[in-house]
């Protein structure tokens, strides 16, 4: 489908600035403090007032198409509708029902919805439907999805894979921490849709393994985090390489003023849809602030980790994450660490262990705050309170996803109370505040805290045997192997499988 632009794209740019300082020590770690106050912005004339810390959303010039009640009401290939049915996806989430009629028609989209609100299918179905029937040449994808982290890239790929297969489209995932040669090979073989982090995609372009001049549909997922991580120059450089008349869709849980640059420069007359204010409007999520003495915090953290059920615990630094994980393992809690210092295979394995229940506690830095979906996760604990309300929202977004219920608990020592009050106000949340002590009923009632077993545990990594290549041990003639020699091998293999 082709479309005609109603007006030219904005080409103006603005410079933003951020302030950072050093925070105090928390649980053995020091955190970077960021300013999230409002900044002065020009352009767009008079616009509606914005949520605190965010820019005012642009007004849509061309009226948006109305929302639909079901997927069958959308102009999508029958194969996609069949795939939705086979996946058990029968009723669209609000952000999908509102944006898909417009994105399928080729409109630019600016969508804000909390984590777990269905953003991936909101942009993914439109991208796949509008690309179906086309074939990409080597190194020249037709659609691009930019995401900030490897974990989010893998989640987006996994979520869209069955739908891409249904319309015979090839997906390629391009992220750092994995062999670049394999990713280059996938692009050379031809991939209609590329899911990428900005840095690795830039590397592949610089090597000549990818060109974006045929990309007609571009998606930015969690654009605000890309800005926070310093990817804005790379993102804008990549967007400048795609087809200028193409469709752009920007989806995020929060829209701060760094994202305003992208909206003004790259979106043309976008359809704007906000499922809810990004300031924590999840009715199935409970927010608890637990006032606790510093002397009790370590023990309370250990007892919460020993609860029945899974929990994600957030700390500020890799060192603090590793230290707490080691302590929990020695205390009898099945815990694993996740942070940017881990290799991608380690991170993938840890997430798989957590999702399958092999590990009950995921101790993480903010690397896990976006792009990770775990079913039936009902508790997130901020051992170190975040310094930014956006970080709080995205940490908490790991629970109460897609209508499920969950709780976000933040441990706050006396010297952190004032900062936590300001953060909650910026997030638009009124938490339940409770004074707790180790061993008291309130801590158990809110978190399920209990004493750990005290018996150290070791998390083992499953060993996967790779089949031996025939003839790998000798370049000459292979010696014949008798049936008598082969039989025990078959029996031992069967025994191991049993």
Q: What are phi and psi of 183, to 5 degrees?
A: -65, -40
- Structural domain that includes position 388: 285-447
For 33-92, the pLDDT digits (tens) are: 333 333 333 333 333 334 445 556 777 789 999 999 999 999 999 999 999 999 999 899
Same domain, 164 and 263: yes
Residues 6 or more apart in contact with residue 99 via CB below 8 angstroms: 109, 111, 122, 123, 126, 271, 273
How many C-alpha atoms does 75 have within 13 Å on its Cβ side?
10
Average pLDDT on 252-259 reads: 72
For 285-344, the pLDDT digits (tens) are: 789 999 999 999 999 999 999 999 999 999 999 999 999 999 999 999 999 999 988 888
> Per-residue pLDDT for 414 more than 50?
yes
Same domain, 256 and 325: no
Same domain, 317 and 170: no
- Which range has highest mean pLDDT (55-64, 218-227, 251-260, 398-407)? 218-227
Average pLDDT on 430-442 reads: 93
Residue 220 to residue 110: CA distance in whole angstroms = 10
Q: Which two tokens stand for residue 248?
A: 């752009």
The CA distances from residue 484 to 337, 487, 489, in Å, are 47, 5, 10
Same domain, 258 and 350: no
**What's the whole-number average pLDDT of the chain?**
81
Helices 119-131 and 150-166: crossing angle, nearest 10°? 50
**Quick one: pLDDT at residue 233?**
93
338 lies in a domain? Answer: yes
Same domain, 152 and 189: yes
Same domain, 151 and 191: yes
408 has which bridge partners? 287, 380
361 has which bridge partners? 311, 335
259 lies in a domain? Answer: yes
For 98-133, the pLDDT digits (tens) are: 999 999 999 999 988 766 678 899 999 999 999 999
How many structural domains comprise the chain? 2
Question: What CATH number should be reported for the domain holding residue 360?
Answer: 3.40.50.300
Q: With the CA atoms of 478, 483, 487 and 493 taken in that order, what torsion angle do they form, in degrees rounded to the nearest 10?
A: 30
391 lies in a domain? Answer: yes
Same domain, 139 and 238: yes
Average pLDDT on 449-469 reads: 75
Q: Which two tokens stand for residue 259?
A: 């994202």
Residue 370 to residue 252: CA distance in whole angstroms = 11
482 lies in a domain? Answer: no
Same domain, 289 and 233: no
**Quick one: pLDDT at residue 368?**
62
**Quick one: pLDDT at residue 492?**
34
Band (pLDDT 50/70/90 cuts) for residue 22 is very low
| Sequential DSSP letters for 218-277 | EEEESHHHHHHTT-HHHHHHHHTTS-TTSEEEEEES--BHHHHHHHHHH-SS-EEEESS-
Same domain, 264 and 356: no
Residues 6 or more apart in contact with residue 280 via CB below 8 angstroms: 114, 287, 392, 393, 396, 427, 428, 429
For 236-248, the pLDDT digits (tens) are: 999 999 999 999 9
Residue where a domain stops, chosen among 227, 253, 274: 274
Q: Kind of pairing, strands 406-412 and 379-382? A: parallel
22 lies in a domain? Answer: no
Q: What are phi and psi of 202, to 5 degrees?
A: -60, -40
> Per-residue pLDDT for 163 more than 90?
yes
Helices 232-239 and 257-266: crossing angle, nearest 10°? 10
Same domain, 257 and 330: no
**Quick one: pLDDT at residue 8?**
40
Range of weakest confidence among 24-28, 319-323, 469-473: 24-28
Average pLDDT on 19-30 reads: 39
**Quick one: pLDDT at residue 273?**
87
**Quick one: pLDDT at residue 54?**
58
**Quick one: pLDDT at residue 118?**
84
Same domain, 222 and 342: no
**Quick one: pLDDT at residue 276?**
53
Measured over all CA atoms, what is the biggest interatomic distance in the chain, rounded to whole angstroms? 86
The CA distances from residue 145 to 268, 275, 309, in Å, are 18, 21, 34
Which strands, in side-by-side order, build the sheet including 271-274?
171-174, 193-196, 143-146, 217-221, 247-252, 109-112, 271-274
**Quick one: pLDDT at residue 495?**
35
Same domain, 262 and 346: no
3-state secondary structure of 24: strand
Q: Where are the beta strands (DSSP E) in 319-445?
A: 335-338, 361-364, 379-382, 406-412, 432-435
342 lies in a domain? Answer: yes
Share of the chain above pLDDT 70, in %: 76
**Quick one: pLDDT at residue 306?**
96
Contact 245, 5 (CB under 8 A): yes
Residue 432 to residue 439: CA distance in whole angstroms = 20
Residue 243 to residue 241: CA distance in whole angstroms = 7
484 lies in a domain? Answer: no
> Per-residue pLDDT for 366 more than 90?
no
465 lies in a domain? Answer: no
Q: Kind of pairing, strands 285-291 and 335-338? A: unpaired
Q: Which two tokens stand for residue 397?
A: 């977004």
Average pLDDT on 488-493 reads: 36
> Per-residue pLDDT for 435 more than 90?
yes
Contact 299, 420 (CB under 8 A): no
């Amino acid at each position: 489908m082709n479309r005609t632009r109603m007006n030219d794209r904005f080409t103006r740019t603005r410079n933003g600035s951020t302030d950072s300082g050093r925070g105090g020590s928390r649980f053995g770690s020091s955190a970077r403090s960021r300013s999230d106050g409002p900044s002065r912005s020009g352009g767009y004339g008079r616009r509606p007032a914005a949520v605190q810390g965010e820019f005012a959303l642009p007004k849509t010039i061309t009226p948006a198409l109305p929302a639909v009640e079901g997927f069958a009401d959308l102009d999508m290939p029958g194969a996609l509708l069949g795939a939705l049915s086979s996946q058990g996806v029968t009723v669209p989430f609000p952000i999908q029902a509102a944006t898909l009629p417009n994105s399928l028609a080729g409109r630019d989209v600016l969508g804000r919805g909390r984590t777990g609100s269905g953003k991936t299918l909101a942009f993914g179905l439109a991208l796949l439907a509008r690309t179906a029937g086309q074939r990409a040449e080597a190194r020249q994808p037709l659609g691009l999805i930019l995401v900030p982290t490897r974990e989010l890239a893998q989640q987006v790929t996994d979520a869209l894979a069955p739908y891409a297969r249904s319309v015979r489209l090839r997906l390629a995932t391009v992220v750092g921490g994995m062999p670049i040669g394999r990713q280059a090979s996938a692009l050379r073989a031809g991939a209609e849709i590329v899911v990428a982090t900005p840095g690795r995609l830039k590397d592949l372009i610089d090597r000549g393994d990818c060109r974006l001049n045929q990309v007609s549909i571009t998606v930015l997922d969690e654009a605000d985090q890309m800005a926070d991580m310093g990817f804005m120059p790379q993102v804008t450089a990549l967007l400048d390489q795609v087809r200028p008349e193409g469709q752009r869709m920007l989806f995020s849980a929060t829209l701060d003023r760094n994202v305003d640059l992208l909206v003004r420069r790259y979106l043309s007359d976008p359809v704007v849809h906000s499922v809810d204010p990004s300031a924590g409007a999840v009715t199935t999520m409970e927010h608890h602030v637990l006032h606790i003495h510093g002397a009790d915090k370590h023990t309370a953290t250990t007892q919460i980790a020993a609860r029945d059920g899974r929990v994600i615990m957030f700390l500020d630094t890799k060192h603090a994450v590793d230290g707490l994980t080691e302590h929990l393992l020695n205390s009898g809690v099945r815990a694993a660490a996740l942070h940017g210092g881990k290799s991608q295979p380690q991170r993938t394995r840890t997430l798989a262990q957590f999702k399958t229940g092999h590990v009950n506690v995921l101790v993480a830095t903010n690397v896990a705050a976006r792009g990770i979906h775990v079913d039936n996760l009902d508790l997130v604990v901020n051992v170190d309170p975040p310094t930014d309300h956006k970080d709080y929202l995205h940490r908490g977004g790991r629970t109460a996803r897609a209508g499920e219920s969950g709780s976000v608990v933040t441990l706050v020592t006396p010297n952190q109370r004032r900062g936590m009050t300001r953060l909650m106000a910026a997030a638009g949340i009124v938490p339940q505040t409770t004074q707790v002590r180790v061993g008291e009923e309130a801590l158990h009632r809110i978190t399920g805290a209990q004493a750990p077993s005290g018996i150290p545990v070791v998390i083992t990594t499953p060993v996967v045997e790779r089949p031996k290549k025939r003839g790998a041990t000798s370049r000459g003639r292979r010696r014949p192997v008798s049936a008598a020699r082969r039989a025990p091998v078959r029996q031992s293999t069967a025994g191991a499988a049993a």
